[in-house]
Copies of this chain bind each other. A is one copy, B any other.
Amino acid sequence: MRNKVVSDLAAALEGVADGSTILIGGFGLAGQPLALIDALLEQGATDLTVVSNNAGNAEWGIARLLQAGRVRKVVCSFPRQSDSYVFDELYLAGKVELEVVPQGNLAERIRAGGAGIGGFYTPTGFGTLLADGKETREIDGRMYVLESPIRGDVALIGAFRGDRLGNLVYRKTSRNFNPMMATAAALTIASVAEVVEAGALDPEAVVTPGIFVDRVVAVGQEEAA
């Protein structure tokens, strides 16, 4: 019987290789899979490229990975937050690379990665520093920038409920980047507050169909702060 639920966090993170690109869901702490990130730290993979909206809060989640020197590069829209001191210090010391991507372009690039789209023209960022060197094009009188898809070796997803088939639902604004990231990685690992029976999730309300998910691990309701 198909069962994507693994018994513990160590099993969930098994096999993540050094040098991997890791997509990490969440917007700030909402939907950020803190337990999976802690388990990745434990697992030991290093020289990572992290793709996430932010670059870590205080000493939680992504900030811990950074602090442990596991991250070579961050691709995000908004690294600088009130409590992103770990990232800030590493960046200013030249110890971590940064690629800043407008938030909507980041979401759309990850969607494109999961959807087999080779590239797309977006009006966002045209005429700005963040489009420097990128191909531009006028379409129906408006200027667009060509953006490329983003894919990961691994995606770490923070969901609410999941079943053994890998179907996932989220809670409120913790959905954010998680559904796209789940589609755009070779290995998608989801933490859930609760594992439910197959058939218990309303098929009309499943946000991430199980086809996108390789492993599910129950971590209970995470409390970040």
Q: Which residues of B contact A117 (CB under 8 A)?
A: 108, 120-122
A116 contacts the other chain (Cβ, under 8 Å)?
yes
A144-B121 Cα distance, complex, nearest whole Å: 14
Using Cβ atoms and an 8 Å threshold, which residues of chain B touch A112? Answer: 120
Scan A141-159; emit 1 where CB is below 8 A from any B CB, else 0: 0101000100000000000
Answer whether residue A204 sits at the interface, using C-beta atoms and an 8 A cutoff: yes
Tell yes or no: A123 within 8 A of B by CB: yes
> Which chain A residues (83-120) contact chain B, with CB distance < 8 Å?
108, 112, 115-120
A212 at the B interface (CB under 8 A): no
Q: Are the CB atoms of A169 and B119 closer together than 8 Å?
A: no
Does A1 interact with chain B (Cβ within 8 Å)?
no
Select from chain B the residue with minimum beta-carbon distance to A138: B118
Does A200 sit within 8 A of B, measured CB to CB?
no
A72 touches B (CB below 8 Å) = no
Interface residue A60 (Cβ < 8 Å from any Cβ of B): no
Q: Which residues from chain B contact A108 at a C-beta distance below 8 Å?
A: 115, 117
